[in-house]
Amino acid sequence: MTTLVAPVENDVRRSERSDRIVDLVQRQGALAVLVVVVIIAAAAFPNFRGYDNAGTILIAAAPPALIALGMTFVIITGGIDLSVGSLYVLGGVVSAYASKWGFLPALLVPLALCGLVGVVNGVLIAYTRMAPFIVTLAALLGARGLMRALSNEGSTTYLVGNDGFRSFGTGSFLGIGYPVWLVAVVFVLGMVLLSRTRFGRSVYAVGGSEDAASLMGVAVRRTKVTVYVMSGLLAGLAGAINAAKLGSGVTVLGTGMELDAIAAVVIGGTLLTGGAGTIAGTIAGVLLLGVIQNMINQVGNVPSSYQQVISGAFLAVVVVAQTYLVKLRRRT
């Protein structure tokens, strides 16, 4: 094509520079806050500075990080997955139960079960166009019920019977627990998947504008099913890791984990309305929540419930800031 007419004015809206700044704040805001919080914590609490403490923070953050990773994909498509907290607990119980059969079953049985719930979620959401909130709420209740049934109303706690699995949960390499290394590998894969593959682009496209995406030939339904399956699988994996770490399928932890994950994802700069977000941001969000928890533990005499107050405040600030930034971007 050779025709070349007067160039179209592209920049009538805003200078590229201010655009970049908005972009940077949105993408790296959580990281900046994390750095500041870590510096403050390191200055205030001598115990915070230790290498061991870093390991503690990371191992504590490993399961929530996996859940938040799946949630990032789901939220970028414009959806939500409320079932992951329940799946996490269910995964832990099932993993402990299955550990008597060996290492692999302890890992794979929860993955299969939670992945299946993810398939059901995804198919219902993508093919019947039911609201993700409702579908995954139903899955939340269903998974919780299943967990209760398996554990006789929570009265039976299955102990991890496989030594190999147990040592996977408690052992460490270079002072960092094995689960953290596993989570790190999964995150790298997730990053590549989201940012460097066609599937990743379709995740963004579906969340950015579902109608446009389908007109542009994106397999919208397949994309949606895939992200809910991933979310279920990751929640199951998180449960298995937790079971390995604790040595048993604990039935009382994990309630509300889905909300922590959503908080971490949103603090990390992912738009709750879909279409934008990064995994790097989610990591920062998860670590930020973890560091705040750790700091409050350092203070000692503050009830740890206040951690939720502070996390909540952070979330509110981030959401307000995001809304403002988006408005800035879309200003006509």
The residues binding another protein (CB under 8 A) are 1-14, 16, 19, 23, 192, 196-198, 200-202, 204-205, 207-209, 211-218, 271, 275-276, 329-330
Choice between 205 and 240, CB closer to another protein: 205
Choice between 4 and 252, CB closer to another protein: 4
Choice between 218 and 230, CB closer to another protein: 218
Query: How far is 270 from 207, CA to CA, in rounded Å?
Result: 11
Query: How far is 159 from 327, CA to CA, in rounded Å?
Result: 51
Question: Closest distance between another protein and the C-beta of residue 255, in Å?
Answer: 33
Query: How far is 236 from 92, CA to CA, in rounded Å?
Result: 7
Contact 288, 93 (CB under 8 A): no
CB-based burial label for 3 (10 Å; 0-12, 13-18, 19+): exposed
What phi and psi, each to the nearest 5 degrees, are found at residue 189? -60, -45
Choice between 304 and 323, CB closer to another protein: 323
Choice between 100 and 196, CB closer to another protein: 196
Contact 189, 233 (CB under 8 A): no
Question: Closest distance between another protein and the C-beta of residue 188, in Å?
Answer: 13
Nearest by Cα to 266 from 182, 188, 322, 325: 322
> Residue 317: CB partners within 8 Å, gap ≥ 6?
none
Choice between 76 and 233, CB closer to another protein: 76
Query: How far is 76 from 296, CA to CA, in rounded Å?
Result: 31
Question: Closest distance between another protein and the C-beta of residue 59, in Å?
Answer: 31
Tokens of 213: 């995406």
Question: Closest distance between another protein and the C-beta of residue 25, in Å?
Answer: 14
Choice between 153 and 327, CB closer to another protein: 327
CB-based burial label for 165 (10 Å; 0-12, 13-18, 19+): buried
Question: Closest distance between another protein and the C-beta of residue 199, in Å?
Answer: 10
Question: Closest distance between another protein and the C-beta of residue 182, in Å?
Answer: 22
Q: What is the CA radius of gyration of the chain?
A: 21
Question: Closest distance between another protein and the C-beta of residue 213, in Å?
Answer: 6
Query: How far is 84 from 93, CA to CA, in rounded Å?
Result: 14
